[in-house]
């Protein structure tokens, strides 16, 4: 495949994530790869994609080269349809107006639970991580896409702490915890695209990224992976995808 353009792990993450979005969706995006991927989707295939940001923004069109350093910066409001309070934009999720929540992740487990609070015992943590932000609210209240780096220490059997709930302990435990709506939909890494089994709610591989083997993925994962019956191979990033991505983030803030 000598014609395949060269790309970084961050770039394929952003591009494959953007492919998960559909035109017309209302997407609540976190900063970093999610924001970049949602903006990329808007430019490539989804002009009617509506992006919400935690800072209180509905329908932003972020400018190329002016990616905001957080979702609470004024750059997030560029050409927005509406600005509103931070709590109010989260309440839109609770009411059900949002199709997809789209976040990064520090640590994930087999049921799609995310940890961004503590490494080690929360009472005496090895590392105090930044915490949930809107992550807990978003993952509690809508369907989630998570884009994250694939490392063994990040893909664990059980997270040290559930910051943002996936399917909790699998099965029906999410609904029983008081979260009848939403749940993990996709996890995208530089190695593969994952979904979740409809019954057990365990993570499973849906597609391998180009040039990645089953063993590659399993070796980088801290629990036994389920593979879908028919594993697809994802098409590599196109020149057009890469060019557009690089136009959006010329300083490589999020695609280094």
- Share of the chain residues as helix, strand and coil, in percent rounded to the nearest 5: 25, 25, 50
Q: Which of 8, 65, 121, 131 binds another protein (CB under 8 A)?
A: 131
The residues, ordered by sequence, that sit 6+ positions from 2 with a Cβ below 8 Å of its Cβ are none
Closer by beta carbon to another protein, 6 or else 79: 79
Q: Quick check: 186 binds another protein (CB under 8 A)?
A: no
Identified binder of another protein from the candidate list 45, 72, 171, 204, rule CB under 8 A: 72
Is residue 64 part of the contact set for another protein (CB under 8 A)? no
Could you tell me how many residues of this chain bind another protein (CB under 8 A)? 74
> Does residue 26 belong to the site contacting another protein (CB under 8 A)?
yes
Binding mask 196-235 for another protein (x = CB under 8 A): ----------------------------------------
> How near is the Cβ of 101 to another protein at its closest, in Å?
11
Residue linked to tokens 């490392």: 151
50 binds another protein (CB under 8 A): yes
User: Are 85 and 130 spatial neighbours (Cβ–Cβ below 8 Å)?
Assistant: no
Q: Which residue of 9, 45, 92, 231 would you call a contact of another protein, by CB under 8 A?
A: 92
Element (H, E) at 118: strand 118-119
Q: Which of 87, 35, 30, 79 is nearest to 56 (CA)?
A: 87
**CA-to-CA dists, residue 21 to 114, 123, 172, 227, 245, angstroms:** 21, 39, 26, 23, 15
Q: Give the one residue of 18, 140, 189, 255 binding another protein; rule: CB under 8 A.
A: 140
């Amino acid at each position: 495949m000598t014609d395949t353009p060269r790309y970084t792990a961050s770039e394929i993450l952003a591009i494959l994530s953007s492919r998960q979005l559909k035109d017309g969706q209302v997407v609540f995006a976190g900063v970093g790869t999610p924001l970049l991927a949602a903006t990329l989707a808007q430019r490539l295939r989804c002009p009617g994609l509506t992006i919400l940001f935690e800072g209180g923004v509905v329908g932003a069109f972020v400018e190329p080269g002016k990616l905001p350093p957080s979702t609470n910066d004024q750059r997030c409001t560029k050409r927005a349809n509406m600005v509103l309070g931070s709590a109010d934009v989260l309440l839109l999720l609770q009411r059900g107006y949002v199709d997809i929540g789209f976040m990064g992740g520090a640590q994930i487990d087999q049921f799609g639970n995310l940890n961004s609070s503590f490494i080690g015992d929360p009472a005496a943590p090895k590392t105090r991580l930044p915490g949930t932000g809107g992550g807990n609210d978003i993952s509690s209240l809508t369907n989630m896409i998570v884009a994250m780096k694939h490392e063994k220490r990040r893909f664990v059997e059980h997270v040290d702490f559930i910051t943002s709930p996936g399917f909790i302990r699998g099965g029906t435990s999410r609904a029983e915890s008081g979260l009848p709506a939403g749940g993990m939909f996709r996890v995208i890494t530089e190695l593969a695209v994952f979904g979740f089994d409809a019954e057990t709610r365990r993570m499973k591989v849906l597609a391998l990224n180009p040039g990645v083997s089953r063993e590659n993925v399993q070796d980088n994962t801290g629990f036994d992976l389920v593979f879908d019956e028919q594993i697809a191979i994802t098409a590599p990033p196109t020149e057009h995808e890469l060019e557009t991505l690089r136009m959006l983030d010329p300083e490589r803030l999020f695609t280094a």
